[in-house]
Amino acid sequence: MIRPIAIVFMAGILVGFLVGLSFFHLPLAAINKPKAVSATSISEARAVLGDRNIDVPILVYHIVRPAYPSDSAMVRAAAVTPEVFDTQMKYLQSNGYHVIPFSALVNYFTNGSPLPSRPVIINFDDAWEDQYVYALPILEKYHNTATFFVPTNWIGSKSSFLTWAQLHQMLALGMAVGSHSRSHIPLADVTDPGVLVSEVQDSKHILEKELGTTTNEFAYPYGSFSSTTIAAVDAAGYKAARTEIFGRYQLTSNIFALRAINAPTTTAQFEKIFPK
C-alpha cells in the first residue's frame, strides 16, 4: 500500500523534473540576453532613452479622387487627384523616403528600435470610400502601408463612406485602421466624462470587435485635444495619437500629440516638404 506521504513526495519529484526540463529547454539567448528596454509606459522610455526628437512627417490625406467640375473651393483645397497621389508616392520611393507604420515610430520611442532613413507615415482621415477606390491601389502599387483613421459611427452609414468589409480587405493588404472617435466631434469641448469614454474607448473596442485586430492609434477629430483627452487616449490603451498641429518633428513626450502635415494637392508643394 502506498502511503499518502509517498504520493506527495513522488508528485514533488515529478513537478521538480518538469520545471527543470522546461528550464533547460529555454533557448540560451533568452537566459543570457541583456534585458532589453521594454518600456510599458512612455515615461519609463523617457527615463531610459531621454526625450527623443526625430523628423518623421505624418502626411494626412482626406479625399483622393478625380476632380469634379461641381467641387466647391473647400473640396478642391483638400482633394488630391489619383494622378497627383501616384506622383507623390513615386516621388517618395525614388528619392529615398521610406514609408513606415506608426508602430515603427512607437518602437523607436519606447525601445530605441532604429528607423529607416527618411521615414514618412501616411494617414487617411474620415473614412471616405474614395480612399479605398483610388488611393488603395496606388498604395499597393508602391508597397506602401498607411493608417486609415475612421469615425466608427460613419462606417457603412452612407454610400460615400467605407464599409467594414472594405476595412477588412484593407487590413489584409497590410493597411492599418485607427480610431477617429465614434461621431467625429471636437473632443476638447466635451465636458461629460461618459461621452469622452464613448468616443475614445468605445470606438477602440468597436474597431477591435469588428476587425478582429488591436487598435493602437487615435487621431483627434478636427485636431481638437487637451490634457483631458490625452489622458483618456492613454487610459484607453492606445500607443500613439495624432493631432493636426503642423509639424514634422516628433518627440517622445508628444506620443499622444503627434504633429502632422496636410497632404499638398500639388506636386510642387509636395517637393518643398520632401527635398530631393
| Cβ at position 59, least distance to Zn ion in Å | 15
Q: Are 179 and 207 in contact (CB under 8 A)?
A: yes
Q: Which is nearer to Zn ion, 110 or 152 (CB)?
A: 152
| All three cell numbers of 86 | 501616384
Burial class (CB in 10 A: 0-12, 13-18, 19+), 37: middle
Nearest residue (CB) to Zn ion, 128 versus 134? 128
Q: Tell me whether residue 147 or residue 252 sits nearer to Zn ion (CB atom).
A: 147
Q: Kindly state the smallest distance separating residue 27's Cβ from Zn ion, in Å.
A: 46
* Cβ 184 to Zn ion shortest distance, Å: 6
Q: How far is the CB of 126 from Zn ion (least distance, A)?
A: 4
Query: Would you say 86 or 125 has its CB closer to Zn ion?
Result: 125
Q: Rounded to whole angstroms, how far apart are CA atoms 269 and 120? A: 16
Smallest separation (angstroms) from Zn ion to the CB of 233: 15
Nearer Cβ to Zn ion, position 126 or 130?
Answer: 126
Distances (CA, A) of 117 to 55, 56, 93, 98: 10, 10, 12, 7
**Which has the closest alpha carbon to 204: 218, 193, 194?**
218
The 3-state DSSP class for residue 250 equals strand
Residues making contact with Zn ion (CB under 5 A): 125-126, 221
Least gap, CB of 149 to Zn ion (angstroms): 7
**Nearer of residues 125 and 199 to Zn ion, judged by Cβ:** 125
State the alpha helices, DSSP H only, in the chain: 4-24, 28-32, 42-49, 73-78, 82-94, 102-111, 129-130, 136-141, 164-172, 193-197, 203-211, 227-236, 267-273
* CB closer to Zn ion, 6 vs 77: 77
CB of 23 to Zn ion, least distance (A): 52
3 state SS of 157: coil
Q: Give the single-character DSSP code of 35.
A: P
